[in-house]
């Protein structure tokens, strides 16, 4: 039997082996550089943006505007249940925004201003609900001052989402309370 290849196989020339070795070292260096870049990018921490509670502020603005529409249509001897339901909804949205502010992780944009505005809004809604529940109350003078404080606190925010304009209708409620008190 005859074989086509001789027993003494001759390898590639010496210079080819050195070129192959150099290419293998270059490829290994490229892999090492790629792994280094992946690890470096994974460990770099970017500066975090402050958390924005703008969706919650917009929800408070929407419920306050709906509440103001219900307050304006109140008549002297009409039922106050719809207006009270709108006030309770506005209070719930304000509580949700306060909860989101309290549980926010990291820094919140304009947290002190927002906390102040939510507190002033809480007082305004509390007085409004008290006046709607008990029309013979003596809190009429406090309502106007509380509404002004809430408007000013929301106006101090960089983006109040039309909340200062939504706080209206309280004068109508105050007039109805004065009329019922006699």
pLDDT in tens, 53-95: 888 889 999 999 999 888 888 887 778 888 899 999 999 999 9
For residue 61, count CB atoms less than 10 angstroms from its CB and return exposed for 0-12, middle for 13-18, buried for 19 or more. Answer: buried
**Within a domain: 49:** no
**Domain ranges, residue 33:** 12-44
Domain count along the chain: 2
**Among candidates 118, 142, 119, 120, which has minimal Cα distance to 130?**
142
DSSP state of 167: -
- Check if the beta carbon of residue 173 is closer than 8 Å to that of residue 142: no
Q: What is the pLDDT of residues 124-158, one digit of tens each?
A: 999 989 888 887 777 777 888 898 999 999 888 88
- Between the alpha carbon of residue 13 and those of residues 6, 10, 83, the distances in Å are 17, 9, 96
Domain check: are 91 and 19 in the same one? no
Domain check: are 100 and 76 in the same one? yes
Task: State how far the Cα of 76 lies from the Cα of 70, in Å rounded to an integer.
Answer: 13
**Within a domain: 106:** yes
With 0.85 as the threshold, say if the pTM is over it: no
**Within a domain: 112:** yes
């Amino acid at each position: 039997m005859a074989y086509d290849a001789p027993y003494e196989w001759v390898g590639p020339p010496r210079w080819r082996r050195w070129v192959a070795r150099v290419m293998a070292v270059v490829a290994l260096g490229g892999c090492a550089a790629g792994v280094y870049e992946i690890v470096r990018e994974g460990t770099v921490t970017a500066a975090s943006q402050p958390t924005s509670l703008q969706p919650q502020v917009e929800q408070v603005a929407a419920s306050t505007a709906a509440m103001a529409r219900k307050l304006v249509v109140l008549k002297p001897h009409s039922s106050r249940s719809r207006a009270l339901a709108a006030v309770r909804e506005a209070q719930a949205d304000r509580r949700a925004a306060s909860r989101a502010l309290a549980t926010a992780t990291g820094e919140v944009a304009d947290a002190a201003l927002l906390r102040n505005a939510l507190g002033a809004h809480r007082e305004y809604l509390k007085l409004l609900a008290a006046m709607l529940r008990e029309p013979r109350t003596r809190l009429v003078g406090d309502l106007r001052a509380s509404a002004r404080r809430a408007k000013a606190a929301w106006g101090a925010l960089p983006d109040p989402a039309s909340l200062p304009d939504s706080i209206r209708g309280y004068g109508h409620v105050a007039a109805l309370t004065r009329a019922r008190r006699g």
